[in-house]
Structure 1
Amino acid sequence: MHTTTHRGGRASGPRDAEAIFAATLGLLAEGGYDALTVEGAAARSGVNKTTIYRWWRSKDELIGAALVDSRLLEPVVPDTGSLEGDLVALARHIIGLLTGEPTRDLVTAVLAAAGHRPELARHAKVFFADRLSKESPVFARAVQRGELAADADPAALMDLLGGAIWFRLVIRSDTMTPDDAAPLVRTLLSGAARSS
């Protein structure tokens, strides 16, 4: 159906979209996927549920729109002057999302539900594609500076970076702080083998 409002001037959503998104993501973080209802999001955001259904046909579609367009998950696109610096900034941002409130519980709830909700899984895929497209200048600048091969795969680099953080925090239940970002990026870019 409709996507959502888009920052930067293109409007394709209700006037109260940000309040609806904040309510949706807040309820999702607090109670998980099953506890979130369109009626609850409408009540918390102060709009009629018909307003929500006019723009988003289902709870999963509403979550998908909120993930992409909410200010809560607005992506960081650093420009530090180097690929390593940019990737460290991106890693710190990911660590923050996966350790901070309420985003930690929100991300966990979405990815847990996406495993058995095909429509939500499609929206999660759109979210990650949107983030990669917004991060693409980081890699384009690195190619222009000669730091990165022209045929390098930005998606693979972000999968390795984000996947390592996700695995450590969510699967192994380890702790991470922003200070862990730089060593992780150095390993990603230089490898772990001893130089000869």
Structure 2
Amino acid sequence: MSNATPTPRPGGRSARVLADVVAATLAEVTEKPYDRLTVDAVATRSGVHKATLYRRWGGMDGLIAQALTTSAEQPWPIPDTGSVDEDVRLLAHEVYATFTDPGLRTTPTALIAAALRSPQGSEALHAFFTARHRQASAVAARGVERGELPSGTDPVELVRAATAPLYHRLFLTGEPLDEPTAARAAAAALLAARAGLFPAQPQSDSASPQPL
């Protein structure tokens, strides 16, 4: 008999349970407003006992946060056309397309709306957008490397500026969102970057490691 520790199978039961719970949570969030969400309904949909859900996630707020955390971990195809202008335009268009397509918008819109009602969900939503902005910032970083943007441009700030007007319409003002608006947001962000309005922020002293 070998004394070697067996290598665990990728995923396994825990991964299946997580996938089932997240899928059930998303289904419930899509169908019901925040005030009508219940752990019992998620347990019924997922086939996972509600005691397990309470023990692991604490309640609906924890389940909403988990759905956002899992979404943030999913790969997101970042455009790489060789042109920062086209890449940023495509990023803004992706936001526009996702939240205006009747077949795509319902679940992400409902999940964000539910998260905004929950302190734990709001924290997870912040982390979600932080992760997405960091991933998408690769398009701006490549633009700096190619000399299309000023050296020292903060790539995350460029992504925020290109997408923030879209989220403002979607979740704050309720104004209509169309493709020209998305293209205009991308173009304005690029103009601002080229004007030097997004300098990289120096790390504060408080972020530096403290001596022991």
Q: Same fold (TM over 0.5)?
A: yes
How much has 1:11 moved relative to structure 2?
A: 8.2
Cα shift readout 1:36-74 (whole Å, capped 9, x = no counterpart): 222211211232223433532332222122113249x75
Percent identical among aligned pairs is 35
Name the residue aligned to 1:128. Answer: 129
| Structure 2: stretches of 5+ with no match in the other structure | 1-9, 193-212
Q: Residue deviations 1:114-143, cap 9 Å, x none?
A: 555322221111111121222232222122
The answer to whether 1:174 aligns with 2:175 is yes
Aligned to 2:80: 79
What is the rounded CA distance, in whole Å, between the counterparts of 1:116 and 1:169 in structure 2?
16
**Which position in structure 1 is the counterpart of 2:202?**
none
Alignment of 1:1-196 (within 5 A): 13-70=14-71, 75-101=76-102, 104-115=105-116, 117-178=118-179, 180-190=181-191
Moved over 6 A (4+): 9-12
How many residue pairs get matched? 182
CA contact (8 A) 1:22 1:70 kept: no
Deviation per CA, 1:76-129, whole angstroms, max 9, x where unpaired? 322121212211221122113322347644454454455553222211111111
With structure 2 as the length reference, what TM-score do the two structures score?
0.70
- Distance in 2, matches of 1:12 and 1:46, equals 13
Structure 1: where are the runs of 5+ without partners? 1-8, 192-196
RMSD: 3.0
Contact 1:64 1:127 in 2 (8 A): no
CA contact under 8 A between 1:20 and 1:41: conserved in structure 2? yes
For 1:51 and 1:143, locate their aligned partners in 2 and report how far apart those are by CA, in whole Å. 48
Task: Confirm or deny: 8 A CA contact 1:13 1:55 kept in the other structure.
Answer: no
Alpha-carbon distance between aligned partners in 2 of 1:130 and 1:37, rounded to the nearest angstrom: 28
